[in-house]
Amino acid sequence: MSGELHFLGAAEAGRLIQARKLSPVELVDAFLRRIDAVDATVHSYITVLADQATAAARAAEAEIVSGGWRGPLHGLPYGLKDNFYTKGIRTTAGSRLTQDDVPSRDAAVHSRLAAGGAILLGKLSTYEFGTGTGEGLFELPFPPARNPWNTACFTGGSSTGVGAAVAAGTAMFGLGTDTGGSVRLPAQACGVVGLKPTYGLVSRAGILPNCFSLDHVGPLAWTVENAALALRAIAGTDPDDPASANVTVGDYARDLHTGISGLRIGVLRRFHERDVAADPAIGKAFDAAIAVLTDLGAQLIELDPPVSLQDFRNCMRILNTAESYAVHEQDFLERRAEMGAPLRDKLIAGACVSAADYLKAQRWRRQLAHLVDGWFASCDAVVCCGATRRAPRFDDCAGIVAFTTESAMAAFNISGHPALSICNGFTDNRLPLGMQIAGRWFDETTVLRVGAAYERATAWRQTRPACAATDPPRLDTAPEAGTAPPAAEDAAVASALARRLGIENPTLQELGRFSAQFRSIEAAARRLPERLPKDIEPLAIFRPKVTP
């Protein structure tokens, strides 16, 4: 084999390996050389497992030669976001608190990939514990992943390294976690495919949690077919995950070439046309993509839901901060000085959530999920924007926060429906744009089918990033942003919160953080519905109402 093997698609590589026209050793070596060549610039990895990957490639080659081919991922190299447990290999979660932790077990999905013969290249960059909106990355113990299209720009997150690795060719595919868009945001920023499956389809066992009732696991890959192959390998019931659904795993790549003529596709413009001030390039690319779907024979149905992006965001903020605090309470109380400021602020916000507001948000979530599910009564799939902005520069902190918080990703974490992020163009300065394709619960097959049809009809997969260093901002020693002391009327509230948490003699800066986060949570709680029917029950662990 010759050429750039690190840009070979997973599906094609799998077929070549099965036919013994490509050696897993040759393929893994190509990716390790690619990591050596560009990762000092891209920073997609926290830990590279060169020796282990090479040994696994030799073992895979021996198995295949002796007739022991395990399936389409046998011999293919991949990466894991560094919040997946890997037995005997450190799992840092991008945090000082866990930067030297070595788990004694594997995440369930890692075990499934290993059983299929896939080869782990290493652990990929992430926000601290996979949480946050993107600010404060330069105060963490590992350098943040850079966008391969322009290394001065943000990668999206929190599966930052996975998006960067797939785009840069330092991993053939990767797995990330998605709580409010953390698979799909880096997919859009880095111009790759990112799939958040239905809640409960893929096990989360052995993964450091962010928010129990919103966390999903999903693949990122260069093409829809490659994502479909990865999904087939990792999907399925797992008794070790309490949210796992009892489902039969299908062949998600089976219908990718059947086209979409006659499919009913809902078109949801509200999110990027009315709810936020979207980048004009997002709307232009979306309209062009809709025209492609029309040419492919889809029947388009305009949707205009009675809820905004902010409704989903407010509901998610209450749930996410409260559950994250429950996960990290002990570390927050004992070791918060070692945390990055964004994580500390989120946990303070979580400590401010009342039980009544948390349960109200869960009840409101049921209503929102029911509303989203109603879209699929008349549609086979729905298309909408993903992020509403192009990837900002790292020195544009406000733009980074807006890229995350003004996206439409959270809607499908709240509802649990599958959602695919796919590239639908580029800006005039060659930064990727994207859109989402969502579907019925557990109907990933149709979602991927629509994505594959669009992908074949466009030329976006023909261009790869240069991964060249381009004026990266010098933020590696950026100081933590301070928080002003609370105003007199807020000081009592802040002090009461500190006492409730057992924090003695809080500093003025800490009191300022408590005050600011309490006010932000209070504002989000006020935006929840004033009244909900009394018979709507909350679900601490959300489940779709129907599982096949």
Q: 477 pLDDT band (50/70/90 cuts)?
A: very low
pLDDT tens digits along 297-308: 999 999 999 999
Indicate whether 54 pLDDT > 70: yes
Alpha-carbon distance 340 to 512, whole Å? Answer: 16
On the 0-12 / 13-18 / 19+ scale of CB atoms within 10 A, 50 is: middle
Tell me the CATH number of domain 15-308+365-462, given options 3.90.226.10, 3.90.1300.10, 1.10.287.610, 1.50.10.10.
3.90.1300.10
Closest to 525 measured CA to CA, from 299, 359, 377: 359
* Token pair recorded at residue 535: 């018979």
**Percent of the chain at pLDDT above 90?**
87
Alpha-carbon distance 445 to 420, whole Å? Answer: 11
Q: What is the pLDDT of residue 536?
A: 87
Indicate whether 165 pLDDT > 50: yes
Residues 6+ apart with CB under 8 A from 477: 138
Indicate whether 478 pLDDT > 70: no
Place of tokens 């080659």: 61
Annotation says 261 is catalytic = no
Closest to 245 measured CA to CA, from 443, 81, 80: 443
Residue pair 147/154 in contact (Cβ under 8 Å)? The answer is yes
Annotation says 44 is catalytic = no
Alpha-carbon distance 431 to 460, whole Å? Answer: 12
Place of tokens 């696991």: 217
Reported as half-sphere exposure (CB side, CA atoms, 13 A), residue 85 has a value of 15
Alpha-carbon distance 54 to 506, whole Å? Answer: 51
Alpha-carbon distance 6 to 29, whole Å? Answer: 9
**Percent of the chain at pLDDT above 70?**
95
Handedness of CA 258, 261, 262, 265 (dihedral sign): positive
Alpha-carbon distance 368 to 295, whole Å? Answer: 32
The pTM (predicted TM-score) of the whole model is: 0.96
Place of tokens 């070439």: 257
Handedness of CA 229, 186, 416, 78 (dihedral sign): positive
Reported as half-sphere exposure (CB side, CA atoms, 13 A), residue 472 has a value of 21
On the 0-12 / 13-18 / 19+ scale of CB atoms within 10 A, 393 is: middle
Type of residue at 137? L
Q: What is the pLDDT of residue 473?
A: 61
Strands 119-124, 419-426: pairing kind: unpaired
**Which has the minimum average pLDDT: 18-22, 318-322, 388-392, 542-546?**
542-546
Between 280 and 540, the higher pLDDT residue: 280
pLDDT tens digits along 225-250: 999 999 999 999 999 999 999 888 98
* Rounded average pLDDT over 252-277: 97
* Rounded average pLDDT over 348-374: 95
Type of residue at 106? D
Residue pair 124/358 in contact (Cβ under 8 Å)? The answer is no
**Of all helices (H) and strands (E), which one includes residue 351?**
helix 341-351
Indicate whether 481 pLDDT > 60: no
* Catalytically annotated residue among 23, 125, 159, 182: 182
274 SS3 class: helix
* Catalytically annotated residue among 81, 123, 196, 360: 81
322 SS3 class: helix
Alpha-carbon distance 530 to 360, whole Å? Answer: 10
Alpha-carbon distance 294 to 336, whole Å? Answer: 53
Longest dimension (CA), the chain: 76
Q: What is the pLDDT of residue 492?
A: 86
Alpha-carbon distance 538 to 46, whole Å? Answer: 39
On the 0-12 / 13-18 / 19+ scale of CB atoms within 10 A, 457 is: middle
**Which has the minimum average pLDDT: 12-16, 335-339, 474-478?**
474-478
Q: Using omega within 30 degrees of 0 as the cis cutoff, is the peptide bond preceding 158 cis?
A: yes
Indicate whether 68 pLDDT > 50: yes
* Token pair recorded at residue 211: 């928010």
Alpha-carbon distance 129 to 138, whole Å? Answer: 15
Task: Return phi, psi of residue 502, to 5°.
Answer: 80, 25
CA end-to-end distance (rounded Å), the chain = 43
* Token pair recorded at residue 34: 């690619």
Q: Where are the alpha helices (DSSP H) in 207-265?
A: 224-234
Annotation says 354 is catalytic = no
**Of all helices (H) and strands (E), which one includes residue 419?**
strand 419-426
* Token pair recorded at residue 344: 């500390």
